[in-house]
Amino acid sequence: MKRIVYCADLHGDIERYQAFFEIPGDYHIIGGDLLPKRGYFKTLYEIQRRFLVEFLKPLLEAQKKHTQTLLMLGNDDIESFEDFLRDWKGEGLCYHLHNHLFEIEGFELIGFKYIPPTPFSNKNFERWDSRGITQKQFAFPVLFQADGSYSTIDFESYLKSHPSLAELLEQLPKPRDFSKAIYIMHSPPYNSGIDVTVKKEPVGSQDIRNFITKYQPTLVLCGHIHESPGTIKIGRTVCINPGQLKEFAYTLFELNNGSIEFLKIPPEIS
């Protein structure tokens, strides 16, 4: 039996990180948006880099003897910092989830960082979704480079020059058995009740929903939309967004003999 603690969207909040690792578990998983997002573009790279070096790495070093940590970046994190996660894997500090497969108690966990278009500026992790661009852009679109510099882009042309979410989902490692597959997806599925903004607008991914409907993995853990905690089912697939608002939110479950026992999840949305 292995106990799994899951959350997302900590955005560099030190108190929430500490609370997360205080929860006993064999594995701790964070499904994206690890780093602070405060500050202007010209300072964001250094703010996030310092958080990684001065706080997150020492924290992972301290937790190494207590748990295994699985991480991936989210849309508010600068993409080049994935290099830190890859390096830390070699040091035994964490496992980088995106586009990789990790096995626990016969279940296969697979991470997916990409999201559909948002109205926000940082576009590195955004890809074309079947619903297209549905939200009005209220910030100029930028791409961050590996050195922390950034440039403005023509957003629609950028999306069309990259593989779509549907294509990227099909390129993920395939599990042996989808009924024993657990996906960690930063974006929730579209029109699921766990993708609803404060404006009561569903903004999740249609391509992710189509993928879930087609393959029916046993569990999908997501985040991204802080104000939309909940548990739903799409066919046989349980989908969970812990949310992340005023109080620290997480999900807790156990894997044992091919089954999942949920110990703490948000209420089910009908």
pLDDT in tens, 108-148: 999 999 999 999 999 999 999 999 998 888 888 999 999 98
CATH 3.40.50.150 fits 2-264, yes or no: no
What is the pLDDT at residue 257?
85
> What's the average model confidence in pLDDT over 195-212?
97
Taking all residues of the chain, what is their mean pLDDT, rounded to a whole number? 96
Residue 42: band (very low, low, confident or very high) from pLDDT cuts 50, 70, 90? confident
Structure tokens at 159: 């999306």
Question: Which amino acid is residue 146, in one-letter code?
Answer: A
Question: Which amino acid is residue 63, in one-letter code?
Answer: Q
State the Cα–Cα distance between residues 17 and 195, nearest whole angstrom: 23
For 59-97, how does the pLDDT look when each residue is reduced to its tens digit (9 = 90+)? 999 999 999 999 999 999 999 999 999 999 999 999 999
State the Cα–Cα distance between residues 31 and 29, nearest whole angstrom: 6
Enumerate the β-bridge partners of residue 189. 205
Number of Cβ atoms within 10 Å of the Cβ of 49: 16
The CA-based angle 161-220-22, given to 5 degrees, is 115
